[in-house]
Structure 1
Amino acid sequence: MTKIIPSVSVAYAGNGSSTKSNELGMRPMQERAYERRGEQYLLIKSPPASGKSRALMFIALDKLQNQGLKQAIIVVPERSIGSSFNDEPLSQFGFWADWHVEPKWNLCNAPGNDNGGKVQSLGAFLKSGDKVLVCTHATFRFAVDQFGVAAFDDRLIAVDEFHHVSANPDNRLGAHLGEFIRRDKTHIVAMTGSYFRGDAEAVLAPEDESRFDTVTYTYYEQLNGYEYLKQLDIGYYFYSGSYADEILKVLDPTEKTIVHIPNVNSRESTKDKIKEVEHIIEALGDWQGSDPATGFQLVKMPSGKVLRIADLVDDDQTKRDKVAAALKDPAQKNNRDHVDIIIALGMAKEGFDWIWCEHALTVGYRSSLTEIVQIIGRATRDAPDKTRARFTNLIAEPDASEQAVTEAINDTLKAIAASLLMEQVFVVA
């Protein structure tokens, strides 16, 4: 039986305003950002699921068509986020052009690591007549190191998940952006759902930040304006022993859930992530094999229902890539039955778009509020018949016999304080 978890709950009007589109097919946040499309330096602060990717498409197309820029380079922190910038038939909804990326220029889909061939591909793109390229932060950093900032003159550089940037000199992406701003021959659009970093470093130097025009769209505006989602619950569950033995007390297999297991170096980890995943799967029911098309694990519950579980923890790169590709399949985006549970470790956080997710279940404290924002954002997508979403944090109960009891209590308090702060962000933003 699912355990009732102490939680804070926030209700929203659900008036549908944030999902309504204007005559150009833009939702309110996108329209607000598009009004500033002429700015050379633009910072978009907007929560997960508010439509930042599409807002950038509108702005980039205008800069390419009407502002004289040669090309647009979209830079994302990890390959999985590249799918957010797949082709979109924007003209079907009233805009004057469609968004298109030639397959060879979406380097997030290309094999190999972020250096080497992908950097050479970016160099070839700069010499081509094509308009849009998508790559990771890492590939972009290597490319700037190799080709220099001048190679990017008269181009748009759009940086997704901008909180990865830091004013610290050791942050290469931040250093490069400072160089671009000083040269002043590129346009930069920065996008983030949380303009702060867990390490308290400044994202930009004050003199650089002052150059940006800012568009802000708050969590309150976003969630209050949804059509379906009307309630968000944030809860905590304290456990002792192994979390794998306790997790089914809070994991409801009838809810679409993303489970983030703890980092292998954390106190909550059993130090064997593969066995942790196996234990969770076995506890849910009888394993029926894996789906040959998607790689999803098939598990038959006592009720007879077969769960489709995506394992993003598996060390086999080929298997993991197959599962990740199945989760990104654009043909399945609106298919609620495509997958039931996703188990991840470092993946499926920022930029991961699964609108059906009802429960973000996280094991272990997260000292970074940015990470908590991103994880909660996985569940706060609006979707038909989805009226409630929740975030649950499983936290190890401090054991008075531990030598590190002080550290354990502090960690627990940090997790609760961060979660409560998130609730305040929703209420007062």
Structure 2
Amino acid sequence: MISSGHVPSVSVTYARTGASTRANAFGMRPMQERAYERRGEQYLLIKSPPASGKSRALMFIALDKLYNQGLKQAIIVVPERSIGASFSDEPLTKLGFWADWTVQPKWNLCNAPGSEGGKVSSVGAFLESEDKVLVCTHATFRFAVDKFGVEKFDDRLIAVDEFHHVSVSPDNKLGLHLGQFIARDKVHIVAMTGSYFRGDAVAVLSPEDEEKFDTVTYTYYEQLNGYEYLKQLDIGYFFYSGSYADDILKVLDPTEKTIVHIPSVNSRESTKDKIREVEHIIEELGEWQGTDPVTGFQLVKRPDGRVLKIADLVDDDTAKRDRVSASLKDSAQKNNREYVDFIIALGMAKEGFDWIWCEHALTVGYRSSLTEIVQIIGRATRDAPGKTRARFTNLIAEPDATEEAVREAVNDTLKAIAASLLMEQVLAPRFNFTPKNPTSGPIDGFDYGDQGYDPKKCNVGFNHQTGQFQIEIKGLTEPKSKEAARICQEDLTEVIAAFVQDKTAIERGIFDDELVPEELTRVRMGKIIKDKYPGLDEGDQEAVRQHAIAALNLTQQAKQLAIGERDAEQNSNTALIDGVRKFAMDVRELDIDLIDRVNPFGEAYAILAKSMSEDSLKQVAAAIAAKRTSLTPEEAKDLAFRAVKFKKERGRLPSISSSDAWEKRMAEGAAAFVRFKDEGRYD
């Protein structure tokens, strides 16, 4: 049975201003216009959510580079063949632009039959031709660079879609090639992604290469707040026992347009018979009526007489699956809400899949990475007439009595929580933090609430147009270098992604009753910052740490306060904004020490306690407690470092008998450091 505590872990409402869907005189929506303004940059990184129009933004930019900036050709690189359709011909002049986007059929290699070797040869032929645009997969491009060398691509634009597939790992061939292109400095690169972080927490670009990119950021908040129809997005992880197929209708609503991603056959949620799982879901939905001879969709009659059209993308019969897949891509049906009702998939219908009517993305079992979860959620966040609410559900098996199953369940549970925390940050307005000092004052364009700006307090301003907070914090360290300022402005989500994926941090934050929050907010986050940005000096590392933990904890505290506000105001789109403002007003003074004393995972535990049965929660807590260890030499060293800083600030060492839990913990760490050093535990 599925747990009775069905509460979304994230629920966000938006104002529906319609701004993100309005086009200018050139046919560009706001994100596209913002990107086009930076079209002259040699290296351009576009961070923008699904459905914001990245593909068309690239068309505008590429045409300008080809016809006004002197580049020879544009090569569009996509992760899989299906996404190549996003770069098909577009009559942009009809929208007001000065040129159309055209791809010769033979140069869209995503549609080309044959082996990879033949497609690589086609890349070579294209490079020798006078034609302007080629579209191919990441794999084809990698093989082509291996065969022809980076020099062959000089004076061309390389546009990489779904850029999060790149990484600095030496095993990542695409990342290696891009590093070579940047080092040679003879090409232009446009990189596009809806999630500039990876599930494995490996960096996408090296800090040196990243500095060369000019970044265009269009946030989820800007995108969703500017929609015309979609008002509310819910994200939840729910737990069940037994077989998921027996109880799936408890989280499915047959009246909602839904994509169901069934579990990998290797996961513990799988019954190991994927075909039977699909049949079971279909049987639960209604009485099978046969297959539509044109589309290949399954026809299922509901008890109320309505016939559901279900696209089965799991079928092992390649011919059947390809026909269904082709039917889903039929551009003539894109705006037909009644064309299909349910899509059941395993490895498909995720990244780049465009079905604007999707209201519910249901994923059974934890997916391999946070990036994949973000991509799946993006399937439901398209704007469409009559679609006012969308949701993502991650259905996860509760642990059973065996030790191995408990260990797996713990890992899946922590990953689901990490995904939830990250999406909360992704969906929130952007935070801009400034130190509170005597010269602080109001900033034009920001609303400081009914009472206005108070020079005697730490103020919270909000810009309703840009979706940005301006928050004053006493004692905040400001970044000094350009790179640190860029990270605080652009990359806090990536820092938080690394933090919430840190197993030690999330285990202790949720299940350690004796936790001193500063061990996570200062020590653990501090270590992650040092490892992630080793080129920053100590002061800038501390500035990034403070900005990241402030963004995470303010979102968590605001959510707690906003839940009551939202219930009272019937899902007001200002609930989160009001929550941030209320938290700042409720405390005596909003300072960084206070923020550091908040456990970033406290609210996640509260949600978990409502979602999972009490017995299962106890099993998970016991499994984590069983492997908890005393201080490691590395943790002791970090605490000793903090103790030295404490002495510089206070003129005395931390006391082991202090009533302040953080001071006592620093003293314990310093003592352990001395002991480990005497034992020769440090090099």
- TM score, norm. by length of structure 1: 0.96
Q: What does residue 81 of structure 1 align with? A: 83
Looking at structure 2, the residues matched to 112 and 256 of structure 1 have their Cα atoms a distance apart, in angstroms, of: 35
Q: Deviations over 1:254-280 (max 9, x none)?
A: 111111111111111111111111111
Q: Which amino acid aligns with 2:17?
A: N
C-alpha displacement of 1:111 = 2.2
User: Is the deviation greater in 9-18 or in 245-254?
Assistant: 245-254
User: Which protein shows a greater Rg?
Assistant: 2
Give yes or no for contact 1:157–1:186 (8 Å, CA) kept in 2.
yes
- What is the rounded CA distance, in whole Å, between the counterparts of 1:140 and 1:274 in structure 2? 35
Is the partner of 2:110 in helix, strand or coil?
Answer: helix
Match of 1:62 among 57, 64, 73: 64
1:43-102 deviations in Å (ceiling 9; x for gaps)? 000111111011001001111111111111111111111111121111111111111112
Would you say the 8 A contact 1:70–1:155 is kept in 2? yes
Residue 389 of structure 1: CA displacement? 0.4
Deviates more, 1:156-165 or 1:138-147: 138-147
Q: Which runs of 5+ in 2 are unaligned?
A: 431-683
Higher relative contact order (CA 8 A, sep 6+): 1
Alignment of structure 1 residues 267-416 onto 2, 5 Å: 267-366=268-367, 368-416=369-417
Query: 1:111 corresponds to which letter in structure 2?
Result: P
Runs of 4+, deviation exceeding 6 Å: none
Task: Verify: 1:136 aligned to 2:137, yes or no.
Answer: yes
Q: Secondary structure at the match of 1:232?
A: strand
Structure 2 CA distance, aligned partners of 1:154 and 1:297? 50
Deviates more, 1:294-303 or 1:252-261: 294-303
Partners in 1 of 2:327 and 2:109 — Cα distance?
A: 18
Structure 2 letter corresponding to 1:44: I
* Counterpart-to-counterpart distance in 1, 2:324 and 2:133: 27
Q: How does 1:208-223 map to 2 (within 5 A)?
A: 208-223=209-224
Q: Which moved more, 1:398-407 or 1:323-332?
A: 398-407
> Would you say the 8 A contact 1:367–1:418 is kept in 2?
no
> Residue 15 of structure 1 aligns with which residue?
17
1:367 deviation in Å?
A: 5.2
CA contact (8 A) 1:367 1:415 kept: no
Select which of 17, 42, 45 maps to 1:43. Answer: 45
Shift of 1:153: 1.3
The 8 Å contact of residues 366 and 415 in structure 2, kept in 1 or not, is answered as: yes
2:227 counterpart residue number: 226
User: What are the Cα deviations for residues 197-241 of structure 1, in whole angstroms up to 9, with x where unaligned?
Assistant: 111111112221111111001111111111111100112221111
Tell me the distance in 1 between the aligned counterparts of 2:187 and 2:410. Answer: 48
How big is the shift at 1:112?
3.4
CA RMSD of the aligned region, Å? 1.6
**Shift of residue 401, structure 1, vs aligned partner:** 4.0
CA contact (8 A) 2:92 2:99 kept: yes
What is the percent sequence identity of the aligned residues? 83
SS at match of 1:107: coil
Q: Which amino acid aligns with 1:364?
A: G
Q: Relative to total residues, which structure has the larger strand share, 1 or 2?
A: 1
Count residues in correspondence. 427
Q: In structure 1, how many angstroms separate the alpha carbons of the residues matched to 2:399 and 2:6?
A: 18
SS of 1:404's partner is: helix
| Whole-angstrom CA distance in 2 between matches of 1:403 and 1:346 | 26
Query: Take 2:235 and 2:155, find their aligned partners in 1: how far apart are those partners?
Result: 45
Residue type of the partner of 1:43?
A: L
Q: CA deviation at 1:292?
A: 2.3
Partner of 1:107: 109
Q: What is the rounded CA distance, in whole Å, between the counterparts of 1:284 and 1:112 in structure 2?
A: 40
Q: TM-score, normalised by structure 2?
A: 0.61
**1:175 shift after superposition:** 0.6
Larger helix fraction of residues: 2
The answer as to whether partners of 1:290 and 1:296 remain within 8 angstroms in 2 is yes
- Which shifted more, 396-405 or 148-157? 396-405
- Report the secondary structure of 2:422's partner residue: helix
